[in-house]
Amino acid sequence: MTRKAYMIGTGVGNLAAGIYLIRDGGFKGEQITMMGLEDHGANDGAAVKDYQDEYGNQALSNSKGFLAKGGRMLNEETFENLWDVLRSVPSLDHPGQTVTDDILNFDHAHPTHDVGRLIDHNGPRVNPGKNNYRHMQFDNKDRYLLSKLMLMPEKDEEKLNNISIAEWFKSTPHFFTTNFWYMWQTTFAFKRASSAVELRRYMNRMILEFSRINTLEGVTRSPYNQFESIILPMRKYLEDRGVTFINNRKVTDLEFKDTPLQDDIIVTGLKYEEVDNDNKEGHIDIDENDLVFDTNGSITDSSSIGDFDTPFKENMDYAPSALLWKKAAEKFYSLGNPDKFFGDRSQSEWVSFTVTAKDHFLLNEIARITQQEPGNALNTWIESTPLLSIVVHHQPHFKAQKPNEAIFWGYFMYPRRNGDYVQKPVMEMTGKEMLEELLGHLAEVDPSKDNIKNHTKEIMDSIVNVVPVYLPYASAMFNQRAVGDRPDVVPKHSKNLAFISQFCEQPFDMVFTEQYSFRAAQRAVYTLLNIPLTEMTPMHHYEKNPKVMARATKTMFR
Protein backbone atom coordinates (compact mmCIF):
# COMPACT_ATOMS: atom_id res chain seq x y z
CA MET A 1 0.00 0.00 0.00
CA THR A 2 1.32 3.47 -0.92
CA ARG A 3 1.98 5.57 2.13
CA LYS A 4 0.01 8.85 2.24
CA ALA A 5 0.37 12.14 4.07
CA TYR A 6 -2.53 14.38 5.06
CA MET A 7 -1.97 18.05 5.95
CA ILE A 8 -4.61 19.79 8.06
CA GLY A 9 -4.17 23.45 7.20
CA THR A 10 -2.36 24.93 4.21
CA GLY A 11 -0.24 27.54 5.95
CA VAL A 12 3.49 27.91 5.56
CA GLY A 13 4.31 25.11 8.03
CA ASN A 14 2.46 22.37 6.20
CA LEU A 15 3.65 23.67 2.83
CA ALA A 16 7.20 23.33 4.14
CA ALA A 17 6.44 19.84 5.43
CA GLY A 18 5.22 18.87 1.96
CA ILE A 19 8.50 20.08 0.46
CA TYR A 20 10.52 18.20 3.07
CA LEU A 21 8.53 15.02 2.34
CA ILE A 22 9.30 15.28 -1.36
CA ARG A 23 12.84 16.65 -1.18
CA ASP A 24 14.22 14.68 1.76
CA GLY A 25 11.68 11.92 2.39
CA GLY A 26 11.28 10.39 -1.06
CA PHE A 27 7.53 11.06 -1.28
CA LYS A 28 5.78 11.62 -4.58
CA GLY A 29 3.46 14.59 -4.78
CA GLU A 30 0.43 12.39 -5.40
CA GLN A 31 0.94 10.85 -1.94
CA ILE A 32 0.21 14.22 -0.27
CA THR A 33 -3.17 15.89 0.33
CA MET A 34 -3.43 19.41 1.76
CA MET A 35 -6.74 20.54 3.28
CA GLY A 36 -7.55 24.05 4.46
CA LEU A 37 -10.33 26.56 4.95
CA GLU A 38 -8.68 28.97 2.51
CA ASP A 39 -5.32 29.58 0.88
CA HIS A 40 -4.11 32.69 2.73
CA GLY A 41 -3.28 31.70 6.29
CA ALA A 42 -1.17 33.99 8.47
CA ASN A 43 1.12 34.91 5.54
CA ASP A 44 -1.70 36.72 3.83
CA GLY A 45 -2.16 39.49 1.33
CA ALA A 46 -4.69 39.90 -1.47
CA ALA A 47 -7.24 42.14 -3.07
CA VAL A 48 -10.14 42.56 -0.64
CA LYS A 49 -12.56 40.85 -3.02
CA ASP A 50 -10.56 37.61 -2.69
CA TYR A 51 -11.04 37.32 1.07
CA GLN A 52 -13.54 35.00 2.69
CA ASP A 53 -14.26 34.30 6.31
CA GLU A 54 -13.59 30.98 8.02
CA TYR A 55 -16.88 29.61 6.72
CA GLY A 56 -16.36 30.37 3.05
CA ASN A 57 -18.61 33.45 3.05
CA GLN A 58 -17.55 36.69 1.40
CA ALA A 59 -16.29 38.75 4.30
CA LEU A 60 -16.84 42.28 3.03
CA SER A 61 -19.53 44.28 1.30
CA ASN A 62 -16.98 46.89 0.22
CA SER A 63 -14.55 44.88 -1.93
CA LYS A 64 -12.26 47.70 -3.07
CA GLY A 65 -8.55 47.91 -2.39
CA PHE A 66 -6.15 45.47 -0.75
CA LEU A 67 -5.81 43.78 2.61
CA ALA A 68 -3.01 42.22 4.65
CA LYS A 69 -4.11 41.15 8.11
CA GLY A 70 -0.53 41.24 9.30
CA GLY A 71 3.04 41.68 8.22
CA ARG A 72 5.93 39.32 8.82
CA MET A 73 9.55 40.35 9.20
CA LEU A 74 12.20 37.93 8.02
CA ASN A 75 15.80 37.74 9.20
CA GLU A 76 18.72 36.63 7.06
CA GLU A 77 20.94 35.44 9.91
CA THR A 78 18.53 33.39 12.03
CA PHE A 79 15.92 31.97 9.62
CA GLU A 80 18.07 29.02 8.62
CA ASN A 81 15.31 26.55 7.76
CA LEU A 82 13.31 29.06 5.76
CA TRP A 83 16.22 29.99 3.47
CA ASP A 84 17.17 26.33 3.04
CA VAL A 85 13.67 25.30 1.93
CA LEU A 86 13.12 28.33 -0.28
CA ARG A 87 16.41 27.57 -2.07
CA SER A 88 14.58 24.50 -3.40
CA VAL A 89 11.59 26.54 -4.62
CA PRO A 90 11.85 28.22 -8.05
CA SER A 91 11.09 31.92 -8.32
CA LEU A 92 7.83 32.78 -10.08
CA ASP A 93 9.28 36.07 -11.31
CA HIS A 94 12.89 35.35 -12.25
CA PRO A 95 13.56 32.10 -14.16
CA GLY A 96 16.69 30.36 -12.96
CA GLN A 97 16.49 31.88 -9.50
CA THR A 98 15.01 30.56 -6.27
CA VAL A 99 12.67 32.27 -3.83
CA THR A 100 15.63 32.72 -1.48
CA ASP A 101 17.46 34.52 -4.30
CA ASP A 102 14.40 36.70 -4.95
CA ILE A 103 14.05 37.84 -1.35
CA LEU A 104 17.72 38.32 -0.46
CA ASN A 105 18.51 40.08 -3.74
CA PHE A 106 15.61 42.46 -3.17
CA ASP A 107 16.55 43.07 0.45
CA HIS A 108 20.19 43.72 -0.34
CA ALA A 109 19.12 46.22 -2.99
CA HIS A 110 16.66 47.88 -0.57
CA PRO A 111 18.22 47.56 2.90
CA THR A 112 16.16 48.61 5.89
CA HIS A 113 17.35 51.63 7.85
CA ASP A 114 14.66 53.05 10.13
CA VAL A 115 15.29 56.65 11.19
CA GLY A 116 11.86 57.32 12.68
CA ARG A 117 11.37 54.19 14.77
CA LEU A 118 9.83 55.96 17.77
CA ILE A 119 7.71 59.11 17.61
CA ASP A 120 6.54 61.25 20.55
CA HIS A 121 4.98 64.73 20.81
CA ASN A 122 8.27 66.24 19.65
CA GLY A 123 8.34 64.09 16.52
CA PRO A 124 10.72 61.25 15.60
CA ARG A 125 13.30 60.57 18.29
CA VAL A 126 16.25 61.09 15.96
CA ASN A 127 17.95 64.15 17.45
CA PRO A 128 20.72 64.12 20.08
CA GLY A 129 19.52 64.02 23.65
CA LYS A 130 18.28 61.64 26.31
CA ASN A 131 15.22 60.60 24.29
CA ASN A 132 17.14 59.70 21.13
CA TYR A 133 15.84 56.28 20.14
CA ARG A 134 19.43 55.05 19.85
CA HIS A 135 19.64 55.07 23.65
CA MET A 136 18.15 52.06 25.40
CA GLN A 137 17.52 54.15 28.59
CA PHE A 138 18.12 51.25 31.00
CA ASP A 139 18.98 51.76 34.63
CA ASN A 140 21.05 49.22 36.54
CA LYS A 141 18.02 47.33 37.85
CA ASP A 142 16.68 46.97 34.30
CA ARG A 143 20.05 45.70 33.09
CA TYR A 144 20.33 43.21 35.93
CA LEU A 145 16.90 41.65 35.44
CA LEU A 146 17.16 41.53 31.64
CA SER A 147 20.60 39.90 31.87
CA LYS A 148 19.39 37.46 34.52
CA LEU A 149 16.49 36.45 32.28
CA MET A 150 18.64 35.99 29.20
CA LEU A 151 21.37 34.03 31.00
CA MET A 152 18.94 31.61 32.64
CA PRO A 153 19.84 28.08 31.41
CA GLU A 154 17.32 26.49 29.07
CA LYS A 155 16.89 23.57 31.48
CA ASP A 156 15.58 26.02 34.07
CA GLU A 157 12.82 27.50 31.89
CA GLU A 158 10.21 25.84 34.08
CA LYS A 159 11.07 28.43 36.73
CA LEU A 160 9.27 30.86 34.43
CA ASN A 161 6.07 28.82 34.25
CA ASN A 162 3.08 31.14 33.90
CA ILE A 163 5.19 34.22 34.71
CA SER A 164 4.49 37.35 32.68
CA ILE A 165 7.00 39.96 31.59
CA ALA A 166 5.24 42.38 33.94
CA GLU A 167 5.82 40.05 36.89
CA TRP A 168 9.48 39.49 36.03
CA PHE A 169 10.14 43.25 35.99
CA LYS A 170 7.69 44.17 38.77
CA SER A 171 10.49 45.60 40.94
CA THR A 172 11.53 48.02 38.18
CA PRO A 173 8.50 49.56 36.45
CA HIS A 174 11.01 51.93 34.86
CA PHE A 175 11.80 49.14 32.37
CA PHE A 176 8.44 49.72 30.63
CA THR A 177 9.25 53.39 30.00
CA THR A 178 12.50 52.75 28.13
CA ASN A 179 13.13 53.15 24.43
CA PHE A 180 14.14 49.49 24.41
CA TRP A 181 10.74 48.30 25.62
CA TYR A 182 8.81 50.51 23.18
CA MET A 183 10.92 49.23 20.30
CA TRP A 184 11.08 45.59 21.36
CA GLN A 185 7.38 45.16 22.14
CA THR A 186 6.19 46.73 18.89
CA THR A 187 8.82 45.03 16.72
CA PHE A 188 8.12 41.54 18.03
CA ALA A 189 4.56 42.02 19.41
CA PHE A 190 5.13 41.48 23.11
CA LYS A 191 2.80 42.87 25.75
CA ARG A 192 3.44 43.23 29.46
CA ALA A 193 1.11 40.28 29.95
CA SER A 194 3.16 38.11 27.56
CA SER A 195 5.25 35.17 28.72
CA ALA A 196 8.66 35.86 30.23
CA VAL A 197 9.80 32.53 28.75
CA GLU A 198 9.28 33.85 25.24
CA LEU A 199 11.10 37.10 26.00
CA ARG A 200 14.03 35.01 27.26
CA ARG A 201 14.06 32.99 24.03
CA TYR A 202 13.92 36.10 21.87
CA MET A 203 16.74 37.77 23.76
CA ASN A 204 18.95 34.74 23.05
CA ARG A 205 17.89 33.91 19.51
CA MET A 206 17.73 37.57 18.35
CA ILE A 207 20.65 38.94 20.36
CA LEU A 208 22.27 39.91 17.06
CA GLU A 209 19.40 42.39 16.59
CA PHE A 210 19.66 43.87 20.08
CA SER A 211 22.39 46.32 19.13
CA ARG A 212 20.52 47.48 15.99
CA ILE A 213 16.92 47.34 17.20
CA ASN A 214 16.68 51.13 16.77
CA THR A 215 17.22 50.96 12.99
CA LEU A 216 15.83 47.46 12.30
CA GLU A 217 18.73 46.87 9.94
CA GLY A 218 18.34 43.14 10.55
CA VAL A 219 14.85 43.07 9.04
CA THR A 220 14.74 41.24 5.71
CA ARG A 221 11.91 42.33 3.44
CA SER A 222 10.33 40.32 0.64
CA PRO A 223 9.68 41.96 -2.77
CA TYR A 224 5.90 41.76 -2.28
CA ASN A 225 3.58 40.68 0.53
CA GLN A 226 4.44 37.27 1.98
CA PHE A 227 1.52 35.53 0.30
CA GLU A 228 2.77 36.41 -3.16
CA SER A 229 6.48 36.23 -2.34
CA ILE A 230 6.49 33.00 -0.30
CA ILE A 231 3.19 31.10 -0.22
CA LEU A 232 2.33 31.15 -3.93
CA PRO A 233 5.76 29.86 -5.06
CA MET A 234 5.61 27.07 -2.46
CA ARG A 235 2.11 26.07 -3.58
CA LYS A 236 3.22 26.09 -7.22
CA TYR A 237 6.21 23.87 -6.36
CA LEU A 238 3.90 21.35 -4.69
CA GLU A 239 1.15 21.52 -7.32
CA ASP A 240 3.70 20.93 -10.09
CA ARG A 241 4.69 17.72 -8.33
CA GLY A 242 1.16 16.42 -8.03
CA VAL A 243 0.15 17.45 -4.50
CA THR A 244 -3.64 17.68 -4.07
CA PHE A 245 -4.99 20.91 -2.54
CA ILE A 246 -8.54 20.99 -1.17
CA ASN A 247 -9.79 24.42 -0.06
CA ASN A 248 -12.84 25.10 2.12
CA ARG A 249 -12.47 21.79 3.91
CA LYS A 250 -12.63 21.95 7.69
CA VAL A 251 -11.34 18.90 9.57
CA THR A 252 -13.59 18.62 12.62
CA ASP A 253 -12.21 15.62 14.49
CA LEU A 254 -9.36 13.15 14.66
CA GLU A 255 -10.18 9.49 15.26
CA PHE A 256 -7.66 7.40 17.15
CA LYS A 257 -6.99 3.70 17.57
CA ASP A 258 -7.89 2.23 20.94
CA THR A 259 -4.62 1.17 22.55
CA PRO A 260 -3.80 -0.17 26.04
CA LEU A 261 -3.88 2.68 28.56
CA GLN A 262 -4.18 5.06 25.59
CA ASP A 263 -0.38 5.20 25.40
CA ASP A 264 0.16 5.02 21.65
CA ILE A 265 -1.23 7.86 19.55
CA ILE A 266 -2.35 6.47 16.20
CA VAL A 267 -4.72 8.43 13.95
CA THR A 268 -7.14 6.14 12.11
CA GLY A 269 -9.58 8.64 10.58
CA LEU A 270 -10.43 12.26 9.86
CA LYS A 271 -13.91 13.78 10.01
CA TYR A 272 -14.50 16.90 7.95
CA GLU A 273 -17.04 19.38 6.62
CA GLU A 274 -17.11 21.01 3.19
CA VAL A 275 -17.86 24.59 4.23
CA ASP A 276 -18.71 25.74 0.70
CA ASN A 277 -21.16 22.87 0.19
CA ASP A 278 -23.79 23.24 2.95
CA ASN A 279 -21.29 21.85 5.48
CA LYS A 280 -21.52 18.42 3.89
CA GLU A 281 -19.80 15.93 6.17
CA GLY A 282 -17.20 13.44 5.07
CA HIS A 283 -14.67 10.93 6.39
CA ILE A 284 -11.17 9.80 5.45
CA ASP A 285 -9.79 6.46 6.58
CA ILE A 286 -6.18 6.78 7.75
CA ASP A 287 -3.91 3.74 7.60
CA GLU A 288 -1.51 3.31 10.51
CA ASN A 289 1.32 3.75 8.03
CA ASP A 290 -0.07 7.09 6.80
CA LEU A 291 1.03 10.44 8.26
CA VAL A 292 -1.08 13.31 9.61
CA PHE A 293 0.31 16.84 10.07
CA ASP A 294 -1.98 19.19 12.01
CA THR A 295 -1.81 22.97 12.25
CA ASN A 296 -2.80 23.10 15.92
CA GLY A 297 -3.59 26.79 16.08
CA SER A 298 -3.48 29.80 13.76
CA ILE A 299 -3.04 33.42 14.77
CA THR A 300 -5.48 34.63 12.09
CA ASP A 301 -8.30 32.32 13.18
CA SER A 302 -11.65 33.91 14.11
CA SER A 303 -10.65 37.26 12.64
CA SER A 304 -13.30 39.86 11.81
CA ILE A 305 -13.15 42.32 8.91
CA GLY A 306 -14.78 45.71 8.42
CA ASP A 307 -14.37 48.41 5.77
CA PHE A 308 -14.09 52.18 5.34
CA ASP A 309 -17.57 52.91 6.66
CA THR A 310 -18.23 49.78 8.72
CA PRO A 311 -16.59 48.59 11.94
CA PHE A 312 -15.93 44.87 12.21
CA LYS A 313 -18.14 42.72 14.39
CA GLU A 314 -16.07 40.72 16.87
CA ASN A 315 -16.04 37.02 16.05
CA MET A 316 -16.35 35.19 19.37
CA ASP A 317 -15.68 31.71 17.98
CA TYR A 318 -12.95 29.63 19.56
CA ALA A 319 -10.17 29.31 16.94
CA PRO A 320 -11.22 26.47 14.56
CA SER A 321 -7.69 25.06 14.25
CA ALA A 322 -7.23 25.10 18.02
CA LEU A 323 -10.63 23.47 18.56
CA LEU A 324 -9.40 20.38 16.72
CA TRP A 325 -6.30 20.39 18.94
CA LYS A 326 -8.50 20.81 22.03
CA LYS A 327 -10.53 17.72 21.14
CA ALA A 328 -7.36 15.67 20.73
CA ALA A 329 -5.86 17.00 23.97
CA GLU A 330 -8.93 15.82 25.86
CA LYS A 331 -8.07 12.27 24.79
CA PHE A 332 -4.31 12.24 25.44
CA TYR A 333 -2.56 13.85 28.41
CA SER A 334 0.62 14.65 26.41
CA LEU A 335 -0.99 17.00 23.87
CA GLY A 336 -0.82 20.24 25.81
CA ASN A 337 -3.36 22.83 26.87
CA PRO A 338 -4.83 24.95 24.04
CA ASP A 339 -6.87 27.09 26.46
CA LYS A 340 -3.65 28.70 27.66
CA PHE A 341 -3.32 30.29 24.23
CA PHE A 342 -6.90 30.60 23.02
CA GLY A 343 -8.83 31.12 26.26
CA ASP A 344 -7.76 34.69 27.07
CA ARG A 345 -7.97 37.19 24.23
CA SER A 346 -6.79 40.07 26.40
CA GLN A 347 -3.23 38.75 26.18
CA SER A 348 -3.21 38.38 22.41
CA GLU A 349 -5.71 40.62 20.59
CA TRP A 350 -4.76 43.28 18.05
CA VAL A 351 -6.50 45.39 15.46
CA SER A 352 -4.77 46.02 12.15
CA PHE A 353 -5.80 48.15 9.18
CA THR A 354 -4.72 48.34 5.55
CA VAL A 355 -4.93 51.63 3.65
CA THR A 356 -5.25 51.75 -0.14
CA ALA A 357 -5.00 55.19 -1.78
CA LYS A 358 -5.36 56.11 -5.44
CA ASP A 359 -2.33 58.42 -5.35
CA HIS A 360 0.91 58.86 -3.38
CA PHE A 361 0.10 62.11 -1.59
CA LEU A 362 -0.49 60.54 1.84
CA LEU A 363 2.57 58.29 1.53
CA ASN A 364 4.71 61.28 0.65
CA GLU A 365 3.37 63.20 3.66
CA ILE A 366 4.14 60.26 5.97
CA ALA A 367 7.67 60.07 4.54
CA ARG A 368 8.17 63.79 5.15
CA ILE A 369 6.93 63.69 8.75
CA THR A 370 8.63 60.44 9.78
CA GLN A 371 11.82 61.40 7.90
CA GLN A 372 12.11 58.09 6.09
CA GLU A 373 11.23 56.69 2.68
CA PRO A 374 8.72 53.86 2.10
CA GLY A 375 10.20 50.44 2.79
CA ASN A 376 12.17 51.51 5.87
CA ALA A 377 10.30 49.51 8.44
CA LEU A 378 8.23 50.61 11.40
CA ASN A 379 6.99 53.78 13.13
CA THR A 380 5.46 53.69 16.62
CA TRP A 381 3.65 56.60 18.36
CA ILE A 382 4.71 55.80 21.91
CA GLU A 383 2.23 58.25 23.48
CA SER A 384 -0.71 56.80 21.57
CA THR A 385 -3.19 55.43 24.08
CA PRO A 386 -3.93 52.24 22.07
CA LEU A 387 -0.24 52.14 20.92
CA LEU A 388 -0.39 52.81 17.20
CA SER A 389 2.26 51.68 14.72
CA ILE A 390 2.44 51.76 10.93
CA VAL A 391 4.55 50.03 8.29
CA VAL A 392 4.91 51.80 4.94
CA HIS A 393 6.04 49.14 2.50
CA HIS A 394 8.27 49.50 -0.49
CA GLN A 395 5.85 50.14 -3.35
CA PRO A 396 4.25 48.21 -4.96
CA HIS A 397 3.37 45.77 -2.19
CA PHE A 398 0.95 43.76 -4.38
CA LYS A 399 1.55 42.62 -7.94
CA ALA A 400 -1.92 43.82 -8.95
CA GLN A 401 -1.35 47.25 -7.42
CA LYS A 402 -1.58 50.04 -9.98
CA PRO A 403 1.41 52.41 -10.37
CA ASN A 404 -0.58 55.35 -9.02
CA GLU A 405 -1.86 53.40 -5.99
CA ALA A 406 -0.23 53.44 -2.56
CA ILE A 407 -0.67 50.87 0.21
CA PHE A 408 0.44 50.70 3.84
CA TRP A 409 -0.46 48.81 6.98
CA GLY A 410 -0.84 49.66 10.64
CA TYR A 411 -1.93 48.17 13.94
CA PHE A 412 -3.12 48.98 17.46
CA MET A 413 -1.75 46.74 20.20
CA TYR A 414 -4.46 47.70 22.74
CA PRO A 415 -7.73 47.88 20.78
CA ARG A 416 -10.02 48.09 23.85
CA ARG A 417 -8.61 51.54 24.60
CA ASN A 418 -10.00 54.81 23.27
CA GLY A 419 -8.27 56.65 20.48
CA ASP A 420 -6.66 60.01 21.16
CA TYR A 421 -8.36 61.83 18.28
CA VAL A 422 -11.39 59.57 17.77
CA GLN A 423 -13.08 59.29 21.12
CA LYS A 424 -14.18 55.69 21.06
CA PRO A 425 -12.49 52.30 21.51
CA VAL A 426 -10.52 51.13 18.48
CA MET A 427 -12.80 48.05 18.52
CA GLU A 428 -15.71 50.30 17.50
CA MET A 429 -13.95 52.34 14.82
CA THR A 430 -14.59 52.20 11.11
CA GLY A 431 -11.67 52.14 8.71
CA LYS A 432 -12.16 55.87 8.12
CA GLU A 433 -11.94 56.59 11.85
CA MET A 434 -8.72 54.59 12.18
CA LEU A 435 -7.22 56.69 9.42
CA GLU A 436 -8.46 59.84 11.19
CA GLU A 437 -6.72 58.63 14.35
CA LEU A 438 -3.46 58.23 12.41
CA LEU A 439 -3.84 61.64 10.74
CA GLY A 440 -4.30 63.22 14.16
CA HIS A 441 -0.99 61.82 15.36
CA LEU A 442 0.76 62.83 12.13
CA ALA A 443 -0.60 66.37 12.38
CA GLU A 444 0.54 66.74 15.99
CA VAL A 445 4.20 66.20 15.06
CA ASP A 446 4.14 67.81 11.59
CA PRO A 447 6.83 70.54 11.62
CA SER A 448 5.63 72.09 8.36
CA LYS A 449 3.75 75.40 8.21
CA ASP A 450 1.52 73.65 5.67
CA ASN A 451 0.41 71.07 8.24
CA ILE A 452 -1.02 67.77 7.03
CA LYS A 453 -4.30 68.61 8.77
CA ASN A 454 -4.80 71.26 6.09
CA HIS A 455 -5.03 68.45 3.55
CA THR A 456 -7.55 66.21 5.30
CA LYS A 457 -10.16 66.50 2.54
CA GLU A 458 -7.58 65.89 -0.18
CA ILE A 459 -6.37 62.79 1.65
CA MET A 460 -9.84 61.41 2.31
CA ASP A 461 -10.81 61.94 -1.34
CA SER A 462 -7.77 59.88 -2.34
CA ILE A 463 -8.68 56.85 -0.24
CA VAL A 464 -9.87 53.71 -2.02
CA ASN A 465 -10.46 51.79 1.19
CA VAL A 466 -9.28 51.36 4.77
CA VAL A 467 -9.89 47.79 5.94
CA PRO A 468 -9.86 47.15 9.70
CA VAL A 469 -9.31 43.62 10.99
CA TYR A 470 -9.77 42.29 14.51
CA LEU A 471 -7.31 39.51 15.32
CA PRO A 472 -8.19 37.96 18.69
CA TYR A 473 -5.21 35.59 18.63
CA ALA A 474 -2.61 37.76 16.88
CA SER A 475 0.07 37.16 19.53
CA ALA A 476 -1.47 34.14 21.28
CA MET A 477 1.80 32.22 21.03
CA PHE A 478 3.24 34.69 23.58
CA ASN A 479 0.54 34.02 26.18
CA GLN A 480 1.70 33.00 29.63
CA ARG A 481 2.37 29.28 29.63
CA ALA A 482 4.07 26.46 31.48
CA VAL A 483 6.23 23.58 30.35
CA GLY A 484 3.91 21.02 28.78
CA ASP A 485 1.26 23.48 27.60
CA ARG A 486 2.56 23.12 24.04
CA PRO A 487 2.69 19.59 22.59
CA ASP A 488 5.93 18.29 21.13
CA VAL A 489 6.11 18.42 17.34
CA VAL A 490 5.80 14.65 17.41
CA PRO A 491 4.31 13.83 20.81
CA LYS A 492 5.67 10.98 22.86
CA HIS A 493 4.18 7.64 21.71
CA SER A 494 2.78 9.22 18.53
CA LYS A 495 3.13 6.86 15.59
CA ASN A 496 1.68 8.99 12.80
CA LEU A 497 0.59 12.42 14.14
CA ALA A 498 2.69 15.60 14.20
CA PHE A 499 1.90 19.22 15.04
CA ILE A 500 3.28 22.05 12.92
CA SER A 501 2.47 25.59 14.02
CA GLN A 502 3.43 28.35 16.41
CA PHE A 503 1.89 26.26 19.20
CA CYS A 504 4.11 23.18 19.24
CA GLU A 505 7.21 22.83 21.41
CA GLN A 506 10.78 23.01 20.12
CA PRO A 507 13.97 23.82 21.98
CA PHE A 508 15.68 27.23 21.74
CA ASP A 509 13.89 28.61 18.67
CA MET A 510 11.36 31.45 18.87
CA VAL A 511 7.67 31.52 17.98
CA PHE A 512 5.96 34.21 15.87
CA THR A 513 8.39 33.52 13.04
CA GLU A 514 8.22 31.59 9.79
CA GLN A 515 11.47 30.01 10.94
CA TYR A 516 9.65 28.27 13.79
CA SER A 517 7.07 26.75 11.44
CA PHE A 518 9.69 25.69 8.88
CA ARG A 519 11.81 24.05 11.56
CA ALA A 520 8.78 22.29 13.06
CA ALA A 521 8.03 20.94 9.58
CA GLN A 522 11.54 19.53 9.24
CA ARG A 523 11.43 18.03 12.75
CA ALA A 524 8.04 16.43 12.06
CA VAL A 525 9.06 14.89 8.74
CA TYR A 526 12.44 13.68 9.94
CA THR A 527 11.02 12.17 13.13
CA LEU A 528 8.14 10.33 11.46
CA LEU A 529 10.37 9.09 8.61
CA ASN A 530 13.20 8.11 10.99
CA ILE A 531 15.68 10.49 9.39
CA PRO A 532 18.32 11.30 12.05
CA LEU A 533 17.60 14.66 13.71
CA THR A 534 21.35 15.28 13.65
CA GLU A 535 20.86 15.94 9.91
CA MET A 536 18.47 18.84 10.55
CA THR A 537 19.49 22.27 9.28
CA PRO A 538 22.14 23.73 11.64
CA MET A 539 21.11 26.78 13.66
CA HIS A 540 23.26 29.74 14.65
CA HIS A 541 23.95 30.48 18.30
CA TYR A 542 24.87 34.13 18.33
CA GLU A 543 24.36 34.21 22.09
CA LYS A 544 27.61 32.22 22.30
CA ASN A 545 29.54 34.54 19.97
CA PRO A 546 31.90 36.76 22.02
CA LYS A 547 31.83 39.64 19.51
CA VAL A 548 28.03 39.68 19.36
CA MET A 549 27.76 39.56 23.13
CA ALA A 550 30.31 42.36 23.50
CA ARG A 551 28.19 44.57 21.20
CA ALA A 552 25.07 43.65 23.17
CA THR A 553 26.76 44.54 26.45
CA LYS A 554 27.87 47.88 25.05
CA THR A 555 24.31 48.52 23.81
CA MET A 556 22.91 47.90 27.30
CA PHE A 557 24.84 50.93 28.49
CA ARG A 558 24.12 53.06 25.42
Contacts of 459 (CB under 8 A, 6+ apart): 357, 361, 362, 365, 439, 452
Beta-sheet strands, E only, within 443-499:
463-471, 497-499
Q: Name the 3-class secondary structure at 455.
A: helix
489 in Cβ contact with 402 (< 8 Å): no
- Identify the H or E element spanning 406: strand 406-412
- Using CB atoms within 10 Å of the CB of residue 371, give its burial: 0 to 12 exposed, 13 to 18 middle, 19+ buried: middle
What are the residues facing 333 on neighbouring strands? none
Catalytic site includes residue 202: yes
* The Cα angle at residue 399 between residues 379 and 11, in degrees rounded to 5: 75
32 in Cβ contact with 5 (< 8 Å): yes
CA 181 to chain centre: 19
Closest C-alpha to 292, from 550, 523, 34, 30: 34
303 in Cβ contact with 68 (< 8 Å): no
CA 392 to chain centre: 17
What is the sign, positive or negative, of the torsion defined by CA atoms of 213, 215, 221, 226? positive
What are the residues facing 494 on neighbouring strands? 265
464 in Cβ contact with 481 (< 8 Å): no
Contacts of 118 (CB under 8 A, 6+ apart): 124, 125, 133, 179, 182, 183, 379, 380, 382
Catalytic residue among 202, 237, 526, 542: 202
47 in Cβ contact with 225 (< 8 Å): no
CB atoms within 10 A of CB 277: 11
Active site residues: 202
